[in-house]
Structure 1
Amino acid sequence: MQITKLRAMAISCILLCTSLPAKANTIMDTLTNKQRVLSFYKLIVGQRRADLIPEFVREDYRQHNPTVKQGRDGITEMINYLKALPPPQAGAKSPIIRAIQEGDLVVTHLDVEFMGKRMAVIDLFKLKDGMLAEHWDGIQALPDQTGMAITATNGRYKIDQNASATKSKAIVDQFYQAVIQKASVTDLIKPDYVEHDLAVIHSGKGLGAYLTADNDRQIKIHRIIGEGDFVVVQSEFKRAGKAFVFYEIFRVEHSKIAEHWSVEQAIPDGVEPDAMF
């Protein structure tokens, strides 16, 4: 198994999900898809329970990360790798910041820290018959943001279940259609919206201006996933001939974008972009 340094750091810090009991074989039939994913993190990744993989993961599990083997073998190798690392510290804070579900799709947003280095991770799982069937992800290394009021992953995390996911998705879709057409998005973004994307912050521009200013940015939307007031966009873009995977999380408030997070990762040379989606 080829494990990049960045990937090793990420998976070694995905530790605990505090909301679930420990015995997967007694609760699986009553869990939502989101709870199944969080239980997978806790029991298999956090506790290194490779013996539970057949209860959570389909035999034909499809992995869209080119550094990991297909099927259960890839996850088994990952867990065996983790077993060789120091165990998680007792009481360690869960790196899972947000979890968003629409139907059989579950997105998790993680803030991972290991050996003084930090990264943002967005995982996307597809479930079938209650078991993990497919996985996509994006990982982005982060600078030290200690003491900063706004970081790449902090901010609102609770989902407003009274908000309409359909309406939230429509606002984000409208926003991206305008971006692709290089039209104004001012009416779709709150004047006091909170930006967590470091590249946008450092540019000194708002999100719409940042995305539309890059004339070489070729955008292709793959999925828009929503739960309540949170919307996830999985897309790819090309910049100066280089392909990237791009995951974004939007929070919508009063029919406008109120908050934005993202993870950007270059597609490895020699890997076809379609394999990542």
Structure 2
Amino acid sequence: MTDSIRVANAKGLYLKGIRDGKMVEALDKYTGDRYTQHSTGVRDGKEGFIEFFTPFLERNPVRDIQVLCTIEAGNFVFVHVYQSLNDGEAQWVTADIFDTDEDGKIVEHWDVIAAYKWPTVSGRSMVDGPTEIEDLEFTEANKTVVQGFIDNVLMAGRTDLVNDYISTEKYDQHNPEIADGLGAFSKHLGAVSKSGKTAHYVKVHRLLGQGNFVVAFSHVKQDENDWAVFDLFRLKGGKIVEHWDVQERIGPKETWNNSGKF
């Protein structure tokens, strides 16, 4: 399937601007009349992008960057990305949302980045699995399922309702610490609760869906720390059947170079 202009621009900024190191060309081609930034280490604007990535490109001359999955929802584009730097010296998983203008040019950006971990408990990597968009007619219904799961299970703590949202037959897990299956996820929730640790979804800032994929960008409180979390879900038959996530602890406000993560 040919990428839409919005998806092509989001991919282009990553691949041409960062992977290929052609920052100025990419910014001129893919961004609009502003570039509001929420990656907290980067200042707003094209100048902030160049300022941040110039030393990054110098430190990392070998860059393997793969855009794995995209979701387009109105003006917004979500991308799930794997990065291997300097032949695997560092490996990262990133999740990004780009807002675009009426011409499809990028005008705002949010992201979360986490270290790639291997091996995982499930044997699935943080970045493998299906990516094909299907079931476009079920987009809104699938978004409703995910919203209900977050509201009732992750926010309200109603673990007794988890079967209403997650398939009892198939639940493929890409979180590196959790095994496949609904039973393993329920066990994980119980273990977190018994440990005395807190993990509370405070607010869902964006919920985007396209067919069988839905992504939520949330503020999560883990103990006393604030985290930005992307949860990517694949659904089939009205139930969640697969899950990926990317989690990043939010640093203190005095370290931000812009208005913040959200």
Same fold (TM over 0.5): yes
Pairing 1:64–2:35 present: no
Give the whole-Å Cα distance in 2 for the aligned partners of 1:49 and 1:145: 34
* 2:227–2:248 contact (8 Å) kept in structure 1: yes
Q: Deviations over 1:52-103 (max 9, x none)?
A: 22232234211101111111112222443355356547xx6x5211111101
Give the whole-Å Cα distance in 1 for the aligned partners of 2:11 and 2:212: 20
- Per the alignment, residue 193 of structure 1 pairs with 171
**Residue 72 of structure 2 aligns to which amino acid in structure 1?**
Q
Q: Deviations over 1:203-259 (max 9, x none)?
A: x96435545754722312111100110000000111211110110100010000000
**Residue 114 of structure 2 aligns to which amino acid in structure 1?**
Q
Give the whole-Å Cα distance in 2 for the aligned partners of 1:141 and 1:51: 27
Figure out how many residues of one structure are paired with residues of the other and give that number.
244
Query: Which stretch shifts more, 70-79 or 169-178?
Result: 70-79
Provide the secondary structure at the position in 1 that maps to 2:177: helix
Query: Which stretch shifts more, 162-171 or 230-239?
Result: 162-171
- Per the alignment, residue 216 of structure 1 pairs with 198
**Residue 157 of structure 2 aligns to which amino acid in structure 1?**
K
Residues 211 and 121 of structure 1, relative CA distance in 2, 3 Å threshold: farther
Q: Of the two structures, which has the highest relative contact order with CA contacts closer than 8 Å and spacing of 6 or more?
A: 2
Give the whole-Å Cα distance in 2 for the aligned partners of 1:186 and 1:86: 45
- Per the alignment, residue 103 of structure 1 pairs with 74
Pairing 1:73–2:51 present: no
Query: Which stretch shifts more, 235-244 or 40-49?
Result: 40-49
- Per the alignment, residue 131 of structure 1 pairs with 105
Percent identity for Structure 1 against Structure 2: 23
**Could you tell me which of 125, 130, 139 is aligned with 1:151?**
125
Give the whole-Å Cα distance in 2 for the aligned partners of 1:200 and 1:65: 27
Give the whole-Å Cα distance in 1 for the aligned partners of 2:57 and 2:90: 20
Residues 83 and 262 of structure 1, relative CA distance in 2, 3 Å threshold: closer
* 2:142–2:212 contact (8 Å) kept in structure 1: yes
Provide the secondary structure at the position in 2 that maps to 1:198: coil
* 1:121–1:139 contact (8 Å) kept in structure 2: yes
* 1:246–1:264 contact (8 Å) kept in structure 2: yes
Q: Deviations over 1:175-217 (max 9, x none)?
A: 1121122212112211221011123339x96435545754722
- Per the alignment, residue 46 of structure 1 pairs with 19
Aligned runs of 1:5-24 on 2, under 5 Å?
Answer: none
Residues 76 and 170 of structure 1, relative CA distance in 2, 3 Å threshold: same
Give the TM-score taking structure 1 as reference length: 0.78
Aligned runs of 1:160-171 on 2, under 5 Å?
Answer: 160-171=134-145
* 1:121–1:140 contact (8 Å) kept in structure 2: yes
Unaligned runs of 5+ in 2: none
Residues 190 and 222 of structure 1, relative CA distance in 2, 3 Å threshold: same
**Residue 54 of structure 2 aligns to which amino acid in structure 1?**
N
Aligned runs of 1:193-272 on 2, under 5 Å?
Answer: 193-201=171-179, 206-207=184-185, 210-211=188-189, 213-214=192-193, 216-219=198-201, 220-270=203-253
**Residue 181 of structure 1 aligns to which amino acid in structure 2?**
A
